[in-house]
Amino acid sequence: MGDYEASTMVDVAPNLVFDRLSDLGKLPTYIPWLTSLRPTAVPATAQGAEARRPHEAVHEDVDVTVGGGHRDGWIELVDEERTLRWGMDGGHRYGGELVVDFVADGTSKLTVRLHTTEPTGVDEELDRTLTTIKAMLEKEPS
């Protein structure tokens, strides 16, 4: 079992970084190991910015496909904090958060924190994931 953290600087404004990474339909294009992600249910009540308190997370249950396997999971977005949290249930516990911080005009710091019961290769996978996200974000037009 372990906790891991890695960060990278991205030459894109933090609001744009968070907007792109919080689009759940497009999130698999940024994360190399994530095949698909789709909501499993329509929330019973509206959860948009108009229906929640400031700094309150918008929660979605999701079906996650990694490789060929499906897992149940959840994602929470906190727009004001530019934070995306996630978790998956099952044989090994897995969860984490992605935080986008302001550094300077047009520059962000992207930090990923993970908690997993299967630590094999986590550091390398974090580095590969952050490298991919950074390259894709910096390549997209602002």
Q: List, in order of start, the domains of the chain with CATH numbers.
A: 2-43+53-139 (3.30.530.20)
pLDDT of 20 > 90? The answer is yes
**Mean pLDDT, rounded, of the chain:** 84
Residue 111 parent element (H or E)? strand 107-116
pLDDT digit string (tens) for 82-120?
Answer: 999 988 876 667 788 999 999 999 999 999 998 888 777
Question: How much is the pLDDT for 36?
Answer: 82
| Nearest in space to 32 (alpha carbons), one of 139, 138, 130, 141 | 130
Q: What is the mean pLDDT of residues 38-64?
A: 71
